[in-house]
Amino acid sequence: MQDKNKAANKKISFFGTMKAVFWSFIGLGKGKQSVNDGENFNPVHVVIAGVLGALILITVLIIIVKIVLSKVII
């Protein structure tokens, strides 16, 4: 029983948080496991991962728009 509590209280690493945020950006998750993981996230890591994810998403969208518009003849 104590092993379950230790596993439940274990904080998730920053890269684990980034992975979870990435999957949430595209709308995929692992059901109950993602709910359990959510209890173990460091809130600071979640904020940083969310901001980094948003910046990456915006950068990719800008690059795609520039590529598409460069091929359009006006």
Which two structure tokens, joined as six digits, stand for 56? Answer: 């990456």
C-alpha 56/C-alpha 43 separation (Å) is: 20
Q: What is the pLDDT of residue 24?
A: 79
Q: What is the pLDDT of residue 32?
A: 58
For the chain, give the secondary structure using H, E and C: CHHHHHHHHCCCCHHHHHHHHHHHHHCCCCCHHHHHHHCCCCHHHHHHHHHHHHHHHHHHHHHHHHHHHHHCCC
pTM of the model: 0.64
Per-residue pLDDT of the chain (74 residues; tens, 9 = 90+): 455 555 455 777 888 888 888 877 777 766 655 555 667 788 888 889 889 989 998 999 999 999 999 887 66
Q: What is the pLDDT of residue 34?
A: 57
Q: How many of the other CB atoms lie within 10 Å of CB of 17?
A: 23
